[in-house]
């Protein structure tokens, strides 16, 4: 199998995405996760860009990497400076990483209009910068910024750029679709030309501004590229970078390339999920690794998958560490809930009389406004209740919420929650404050239970959604609350319905905690 090398740039390009802000601790966690997965290179960022990155580089070199090489990122020397006088290049060479990634201009427009220099000076900047880093004993990856736009505008000069990089000692030359505007057939043709012009490894770096980053990366590999850059969840500036998780799965499973160790491929879903948690983003809808990637809703589809999974699944979900998921809804039948019922009571079949009891219970709840399609944890709890297999771990005996507003200009207000819970023969009374009533309730509930159930210390809310079900009811309308919780490893969703948003939230919160405790009991048994 042909080897394909991967470079993850989550810590550099990914950190430039909207609403992304990694702490030093976050970055160190991501490095460990990427190394565990087995990517070839981890682009750690610019060692001189800011105080946070300077601190990060001091700490990251202490991590013993098993699979990946750490790479520092920077640019060619500045116009008019000698390499030995360019502080950024000096810091790049002193970053204690075995690899340096530097970018240089390959589009003549950028050379003239952005750098404000000559085409010849730009080539000299590339040459001298690469030679300087090679003399320091570094493996050098050269990112030919805007290569494809440059080739379309002035092909001779774009080729001169990559030839200069190759002749100067670059170990790999990466063709960058920096603006993300190219089409797959263009990337294929230009990559093929580049591969024929230089005798070093060719790589690809694409952005998703046209929704084609993954396709463009795959076409580059088809044309001869053996080095692929991206971010594991596709985060990045503007519309994001190529999603490396999708690329890895496509190349290894569909095309037969050697990208990751086979045993590491099964970590793809869990590691993407963990990095998404750190990034505070959702990966809903992401191929291969999202919860919905192998979810089935239509009754006909579910029935077919149960008979033969390949009827509606393009791969076995377990190859990437994912699971099949059957969604319960008005368009699904017994087949949809049987896998969840089997999880709770393996001995039951479609013809078992208990199934009718469960369905009647779910239909009644859906009539009240409950929706279990996106609340699998609450669904399991309701199935347990219908089968007489549910015993509450605690009882909320009393609850009081107070909301204070000091003035009309105080838009947020101040909330306090007082809660009394009963666990066996013991009672706990707890109070908590927060900016919002639901958060205060969540804090009070978990704090009151943590001394009984220490496992709850890792549980937190990761998402909260409210929907008004019958708006014609005005202020008396029912609301449905969906709460997503996580313990840092797994995520689950619960639902509550009421005419009171606090009571709906309480129901979803109680289900969330009960679900985590059920999981813990099952693990111990």
Query: Which whole number is the average pLDDT over 277-305?
Result: 76
pLDDT at 113 over 90: yes
Which one, of 63, 39, 43, lies nearest residue 53 by Cα? 43
CATH code: domain 395-524 is 3.30.160.270
Q: What is the DSSP letter of 241?
A: B
| Residues 6 or more apart whose Cβ sits within 8 Å of residue 69 | 40, 41, 42, 97, 98, 99, 139
pLDDT band at 332 (very low <50, low <70, confident <90, very high): very low
pLDDT at 465 (0 to 100):
82
Query: Which whole number is the average pLDDT over 30-55?
Result: 88
pLDDT band at 234 (very low <50, low <70, confident <90, very high): very high
pLDDT at 204 (0 to 100):
98
Query: Which whole number is the average pLDDT over 304-313?
Result: 71
- Report the distance separating Cα 1 and Cα 324, nearest Å: 29
Topology of domain 5-279 in CATH is TIM Barrel (3.20.20)
**Dihedral class, residue 482 (left if φ above 0, else alpha if ψ from -120 to 50, else beta):** beta
pLDDT at 299 over 70: no
User: Comparing 13-17, 83-87, 194-198, 247-251, which segment has the lowest mean pLDDT?
Assistant: 13-17
Query: Which whole number is the average pLDDT over 285-308?
Result: 74
pLDDT in tens, 352-396: 888 888 888 887 887 788 877 668 888 889 889 888 888 999 999
Helix or strand run (H / E) with residue 414:
strand 414-423
Query: Which whole number is the average pLDDT over 252-258?
Result: 94
Helical spans, DSSP H, in 211-333: 213-222, 244-249, 262-265, 268-279, 299-307
pLDDT at 473 over 60: no
Cβ(27)–Cβ(59) under 8 Å?
A: no
Query: Which whole number is the average pLDDT over 20-33?
Result: 89
pLDDT at 196 over 50: yes
pLDDT band at 270 (very low <50, low <70, confident <90, very high): confident
Query: Which whole number is the average pLDDT over 302-312?
Result: 70
pLDDT band at 294 (very low <50, low <70, confident <90, very high): confident
Q: What is the pTM of this model?
A: 0.69
pLDDT at 330 (0 to 100):
44
Domains 5-279 and 395-524 share a fold: no
pLDDT at 254 (0 to 100):
93
Query: Which whole number is the average pLDDT over 58-65?
Result: 88
Pick from 217-226, 323-332, 464-473 the range whose average pLDDT is largest.
217-226
Pairing of strands 69-75, 99-105: parallel
- Give helix then strand counts, H and E, for the chain: 18, 16
Per-domain boundaries in the chain:
5-279, 291-386, 395-524
More confident residue, 411 or 190: 190
Q: What is the DSSP letter of 497?
A: E
Where are any strands of DSSP class E within 325-436? Answer: 325-326, 395-404, 414-423, 426-434
pLDDT band at 15 (very low <50, low <70, confident <90, very high): confident
| Residues 6 or more apart whose Cβ sits within 8 Å of residue 306 | 335, 338
| Residues 6 or more apart whose Cβ sits within 8 Å of residue 453 | 393, 517, 520
Distances (CA, A) of 497 to 90, 288, 393, 400, 418: 61, 32, 21, 19, 21
pLDDT band at 462 (very low <50, low <70, confident <90, very high): confident
């Amino acid at each position: 199998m042909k080897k394909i090398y991967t470079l993850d740039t989550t810590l550099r390009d990914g950190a430039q995405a909207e609403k992304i802000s990694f702490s030093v601790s976050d970055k160190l966690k991501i490095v460990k996760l990427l190394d565990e997965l087995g990517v070839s290179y981890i682009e750690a960022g610019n060692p001189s860009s800011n105080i946070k990155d300077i601190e990060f580089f001091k700490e990251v070199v202490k991590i013993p990497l098993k699979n990946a090489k750490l790479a520092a990122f920077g640019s060619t020397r500045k116009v008019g400076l000698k390499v030995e006088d360019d502080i950024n290049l000096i810091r790049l060479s002193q970053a204690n990483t075995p690899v340096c990634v530097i970018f240089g201009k390959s589009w003549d427009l950028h050379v003239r209009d952005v750098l404000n220099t000559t085409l010849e000076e730009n080539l000299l900047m590339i040459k001298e910068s690469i030679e300087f880093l090679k003399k320091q004993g570094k493996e050098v990856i050269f990112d030919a910024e805007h290569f494809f736009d440059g080739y379309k505008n002035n092909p001779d000069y774009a080729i001169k750029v990559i030839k200069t990089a190759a002749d100067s000692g670059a170990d790999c030359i990466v063709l960058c679709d920096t603006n993300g505007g190219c089409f797959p057939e263009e990337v294929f043709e230009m990559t093929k030309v580049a591969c024929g012009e230089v005798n070093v490894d060719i790589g690809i770096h694409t952005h998703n501004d046209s929704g084609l980053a993954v396709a463009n990366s795959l076409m580059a590999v088809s044309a001869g590229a053996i080095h692929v850059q991206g971010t594991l969840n596709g985060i990045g500036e503007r519309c994001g970078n190529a999603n490396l998780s999708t690329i890895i799965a496509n190349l290894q499973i569909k095309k037969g390339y050697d990208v990751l160790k086979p045993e590491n491929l099964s970590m793809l879903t869990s590691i993407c999920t963990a990095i998404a948690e750190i990034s505070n983003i959702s990966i809903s809808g992401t191929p291969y690794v999202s919860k919905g990637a192998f979810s089935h809703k239509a009754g006909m589809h579910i029935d077919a998958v149960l008979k033969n999974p390949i009827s509606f699944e393009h791969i076995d979900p377990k190859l990437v560490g994912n699971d099949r998921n059957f969604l319960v809804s008005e368009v699904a039948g017994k087949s949809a809930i049987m896998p969840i019922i089997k999880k709770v009571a393996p001995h039951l079949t479609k013809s078992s009389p208990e199934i009718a009891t469960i369905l009647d219970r779910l239909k009644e709840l859906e009539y009240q406004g409950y929706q279990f399609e996106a609340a699998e944890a609450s669904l399991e709890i309701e199935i347990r209740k219908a089968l007489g297999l549910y015993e509450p771990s605690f009882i909320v005996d009393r609850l009081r919420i107070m909301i204070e507003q000091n003035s009309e200009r105080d838009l947020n207000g101040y909330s306090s929650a007082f809660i009394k819970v009963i666990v066996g023969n013991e009672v706990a009374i707890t109070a908590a404050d927060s900016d919002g009533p639901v958060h205060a309730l969540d804090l009070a509930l978990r704090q009151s239970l943590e001394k009984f159930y220490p496992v709850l210390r890792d549980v937190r809310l990761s998402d909260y959604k409210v929907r008004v079900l019958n708006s014609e009811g005005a202020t008396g309308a029912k609301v449905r609350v969906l709460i997503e919780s996580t313990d840092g490893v797994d995520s689950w969703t619960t639902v509550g319905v009421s005419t009171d948003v606090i009571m709906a939230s309480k129901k979803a919160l109680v289900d969330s905690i009960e679900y985590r405790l059920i999981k813990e009991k099952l693990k111990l048994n």
